Chains A and B, each alone.
Chain A
């Protein structure tokens, strides 16, 4: 079974631009969550989608948004990029309902975003 696929692997953008990242979950997984990983803040939860609905959102500004399609694929968008948005963005999918709390996350290899 194919794993979680994230595209692109690397992105370089300029301050003020916007960016869209894509995530294809493991087949059959209905939950997709997004994380920002930086050396300073570690791994932080952005938001989670389940059956095309946003179920949870972390403490990030509204510039960070996402959506999920009927095939469970998900996109994350960041508008008006800032230098501090430079990070590794990870997507994870899980099989069970996220409210169960015990479904392990299956991560993609991430998208490395650099904002200059």
Chain B
């Protein structure tokens, strides 16, 4: 069975600073990995996805994530935080074939200070 761990339920950064949100997964087979963002009172929106084509994945709003198999990690980064990036971020893993049940991390709340 797969699982996802997001380190840090809250991350606080200053506007213009680097954003780093951590995600580690466990999976018995190569996974598909996703990052989603949730703004208040809204559903989740896809930021980016890893499907084995490239280890560095670029997403929307300047975010990117790097798949590191040796570290079983898929950390999300953005070079310069903007106030509008304040939201809840979720890492998710799915496996191909068989019983498909997407598994989400507990989420990381990104706080951006002016």
Contacts and interface: CB of A to CB of B under 8 A. Distances in A.
The finding on whether chains A and B are genuine partners in a shared complex, rather than unrelated, reads: yes
Interface of A: 4, 6, 33, 42-45, 48, 55-56, 58, 90, 92, 98-102, 104-110
Chain B interface residue number, banded: 20 to 34
Contacts of B43: 4, 6, 90, 92, 107-110
Contact of A48 (B51, B97, B100, B104): B100
Interface of B: 32, 34, 36, 41-46, 49, 51, 90, 94-107
A82 B104 CA distance: 24
A107 B45 contact: yes
A98 B107 CA distance: 23
A102 B90 contact: no
Given A42-B107, A43-B90, A43-B107, A98 B42 contact: no
Given A4-B43, A109-B41, A109-B43, A101 B32 contact: yes
